[in-house]
Amino acid sequence: MGRSNSSGSSSMSLRSHGVINPVNFSAMSSTKHHKPKAVWRPADVKEMLDFLIEKLAEMGDGDFKAQTWNQLAEYL
């Protein structure tokens, strides 16, 4: 018996609720609005690094915990 190729020429997306119209898809992807890039001043970077240095004792296995990153986001 032959194996089916489930990723072949299917018109269904696993993330959509139906058939993808390629014309609409390309129009949607070209009209996305992006936030402006963040501008980090040297003082902002220093403030972030000072905060993270204070939290070094709370560091997990090679990275800060999600809670620390959330605290940093609120702090800044």
Q: What percent of the chain has pLDDT over 90?
A: 21
pLDDT for 32:
65
* pLDDT attached to residue 58: 83
pLDDT for 49 beyond 70: yes
- Report residue 19: phi and psi, to 5°: -75, 140
Q: What are phi and psi of 12, to 5 degrees?
A: -105, 140
Average pLDDT, the chain: 75
For residue range 25-42, list pLDDT tens digits in order. 555 555 567 888 888 899
Distance between CA atoms of 38 and 48, rounded to whole angstroms?
14
What are the residue ranges spanned by the domains of the chain? Answer: 42-75
pLDDT of residue 54: 92
Spatial separation of the C-alpha atoms in residues 31 and 24, rounded to whole Å: 11
Confidence category of residue 43, pLDDT binned at 50, 70, 90: very high
